[in-house]
């Protein structure tokens, strides 16, 4: 498998530190609100990478954090007259509702920053001891950026060109040695949560949290670190500086970053007022459509958000699901098939080729867009033979099962979605059965009227040799 490494700006062959095992970290949410589509993209992207690596036989240890203490959370708690912990507890619960519905697997570890305070303090202590950190009286402990000679190697920025980066507060504080120095520990302010430390009561800076959680749960060096491209600088650059200075070794061997989600070709962001939470979107489109929409583009390419594009994704997913549903219906009511050797070979070949093509595309820097095209190709061939009924149950089952196998790798359990959506109301089935009787009695006008009634209720009837097949429109 090849991965585009942000550090080298090249596709590189992925070789894990330990054969058959992968250590992977991806930055998680700051839990002060529902997450939006821009947040959902990295969550889905790195969940899919984890799924694919496991599909290929790797033992993956995956850590994704919760940032549950920062300025935004303090401001939210103050606005609502509650505690930061209550805000965190509430929105972590809401995160799981959306993440579970999007098919995002629970990480191996999903720690909170506030539960990693001992490790955060220990890491800052290491940096102080090694001369990479200093105290500004009345403000906090800061990282001395120029001491780390490789600063900028991920973002490819020159230190001289950098503006003050990484400080959630005090970015231009006159006590800083260099404008790019960033806070490791912020001394207590009135009304803020705080913890005891060797330097005084306070709370951690944003960047140190991820470095500490990485070291605690995955060790000093990891295979893959992921996140959105907006985290390259300053967050990931600062993680590297902290971790490598403290640990004396490479922090992450491969860096992967997904591109933005745009709205009308502008980056989705709260400051522009053009962001949509996942909760907003599921009022119009199911969770699985959101996931399919995100995976329909290559993770390193920006994707544009619109109702029209989500509708196109919904149509594409339904096309795949309908092929599986039709196959399962024929298999459950098998009759009228007249297999031909050439047709059977064509479908069997298409089934094996789909898997090979899917793997080749995913091995090429996780190209989910072309991997989905591999599935579409098999769907097209399968539909042709379902219509002609010129293959046996064996080939139909193998093709439908392969579609489900490949879609499962993408976090889309087709049969589970079909089962969830298959509850046909009894009143609809009553009309379908009345129509069967009307057709037996050659009362075709009544049969047509009953079909129209079913259609008006949002369902459609497909007549097959095995009987009527009823689906949602």
pLDDT greater than 70 at residue 188? yes
pLDDT at residue 423 in the model: 66
Tens of pLDDT, residue by residue over 40-54, are: 999 999 999 999 999
Cα(222)–Cα(180) distance, rounded to whole angstroms? 26
Q: Are 182 and 238 in contact (CB under 8 A)?
A: yes
Count CA within 13 A, CB hemisphere, residue 355: 15
The confidence band for 275, taking pLDDT boundaries of 50, 70 and 90, is confident
Most confident of 420-424, 431-435, 445-449: 445-449
pLDDT at residue 469 in the model: 78
Range of lowest pLDDT (32-46, 323-337, 393-407): 323-337
Q: In this prediction, what percent of the chain has a pLDDT beyond 70?
A: 96
Range of lowest pLDDT (18-22, 79-83, 158-162, 351-355): 158-162
**Dihedral pair phi/psi, residue 21, rounded to 5°:** -130, 145
In this structure, what token pair is assigned to residue 45?
């992207």
Tens of pLDDT, residue by residue over 125-184, are: 999 999 999 999 999 999 999 999 999 999 999 887 765 444 444 455 678 999 899 999
266-267 and 252-258: which strand pairing?
unpaired
pLDDT at residue 164 in the model: 44
Range of lowest pLDDT (1-5, 264-268, 281-285): 264-268
Q: Rounded mean pLDDT of 365-387? A: 98
User: What is the 3-state secondary structure of 51-89?
Assistant: HHHHHCCCEEEEEECEECCCHHHHHHHHHHCCCHHHHHH
If residue 396 lies in a helix (H) or strand (E), which one and from where to where?
helix 393-409
Of 470, 327, 345, whose CA–CA distance to 389 is shortest?
A: 327
Q: Which residue has the tokens 């005084």?
A: 200
Q: Rounded mean pLDDT of 264-292? A: 87
Beta partners for residue 303, in sequence order: 261
pLDDT at residue 462 in the model: 84
Range of lowest pLDDT (1-10, 326-335, 408-417, 444-453): 326-335
pLDDT greater than 60 at residue 60? yes
In this structure, what token pair is assigned to residue 205?
């800076």
pLDDT at residue 175 in the model: 87
Cα(132)–Cα(242) distance, rounded to whole angstroms? 8
In this structure, what token pair is assigned to residue 256?
């992967």
Beta partners for residue 109, in sequence order: 63
pTM of the model: 0.89
Return the DSSP state at 233.
Answer: I
pLDDT at residue 465 in the model: 64
pLDDT at residue 172 in the model: 55
Please provide the average confidence, as pLDDT, over all residues in the chain.
93
pLDDT at residue 436 in the model: 83
pLDDT at residue 272 in the model: 76
pLDDT at residue 438 in the model: 87
pLDDT at residue 439 in the model: 85
Q: Are 5 and 60 in contact (CB under 8 A)?
A: no
The confidence band for 247, taking pLDDT boundaries of 50, 70 and 90, is very high
Cα(70)–Cα(208) distance, rounded to whole angstroms? 12
CA 427 centroid distance within chain: 39
Range of lowest pLDDT (313-327, 361-375, 397-411, 438-452): 438-452
Q: How large is the angle between the packed helices 117-129 and 237-247, nearest 10 degrees?
A: 70
Q: Are 274 and 263 in contact (CB under 8 A)?
A: yes
3 state SS of 183:
strand
Residues 6 or more apart whose CB falls under 8 angstroms from that of 54 comprise: 60
Q: Are 463 and 450 in contact (CB under 8 A)?
A: no
Cα(399)–Cα(305) distance, rounded to whole angstroms? 32
pLDDT greater than 80 at residue 355? yes
């Amino acid at each position: 498998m090849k991965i585009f490494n942000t550090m080298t700006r090249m596709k590189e062959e992925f070789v894990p530190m330990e054969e058959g095992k992968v250590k992977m970290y991806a930055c998680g949410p700051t839990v002060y609100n529902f997450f939006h589509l821009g947040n959902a993209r990295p969550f889905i992207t790195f969940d899919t990478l984890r799924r694919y690596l496991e599909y290929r036989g790797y033992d993956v240890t995956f850590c994704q954090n919760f940032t549950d203490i920062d300025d935004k959370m303090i401001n939210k708690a103050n606005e609502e007259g509650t505690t930061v912990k209550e805000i965190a507890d509430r929105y972590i619960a809401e995160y799981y509702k959306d993440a579970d519905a999007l098919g995002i697997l629970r990480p191996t570890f999903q720690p909170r920053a506030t539960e990693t305070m001992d490790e955060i303090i220990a890491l800052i202590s290491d940096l102080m001891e090694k001369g990479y950190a200093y105290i500004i009286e009345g403000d906090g402990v800061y990282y001395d950026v120029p001491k780390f000679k490789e600063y900028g190697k991920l973002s490819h920025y020159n230190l001289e060109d950098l503006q003050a980066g990484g400080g959630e507060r005090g970015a231009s504080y006159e006590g800083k040695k260099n404008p790019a120095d960033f806070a490791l520990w912020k001394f207590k302010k009135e009304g803020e949560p705080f913890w005891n430390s060797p330097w005084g009561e306070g709370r951690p800076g944003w960047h140190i949290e991820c470095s500490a959680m990485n070291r605690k749960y995955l060790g000093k060096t990891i295979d893959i670190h992921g996140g959105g491209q907006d985290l390259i600088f300053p967050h990931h650059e600062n993680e590297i500086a902290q971790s490598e200075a403290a640990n004396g070794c490479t922090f992450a061997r491969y860096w992967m970053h997904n591109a933005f989600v745009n709205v009308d070709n502008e980056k989705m962001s709260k400051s522009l007022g053009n962001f949509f939470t996942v909760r907003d979107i599921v009022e119009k489109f199911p969770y699985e459509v959101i996931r399919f929409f995100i995976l329909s583009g290559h993770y390193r390419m920006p994707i544009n958000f619109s109702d029209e594009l989500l509708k196109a994704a919904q149509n594409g997913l339904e096309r795949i699901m309908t092929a599986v549903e039709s196959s399962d219906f024929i298999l459950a009511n098998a009759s009228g098939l007249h297999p031909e050797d050439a047709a059977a070979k064509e479908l069997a070949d298409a089934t094996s080729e789909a898997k090979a093509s899917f793997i080749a595309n995913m091995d090429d820097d996780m190209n989910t867009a072309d991997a989905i095209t591999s599935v579409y190709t098999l769907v097209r061939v399968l539909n042709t033979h379902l219509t002609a009924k010129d293959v046996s149950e064996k080939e139909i089952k193998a093709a439908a099962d392969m579609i489900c196998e490949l879609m499962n790798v993408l976090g889309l359990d087709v049969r589970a979605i079909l089962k969830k959506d298959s509850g046909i109301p009894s009143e609809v089935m009553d009309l379908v059965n009345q129509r069967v009787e009307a057709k037996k009695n050659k009362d075709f006008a009544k049969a047509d009227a009953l079909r129209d009634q079913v259609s008006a209720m949002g369902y459609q009837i497909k007549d097959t040799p095995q009987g009527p097949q009823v689906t949602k429109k």
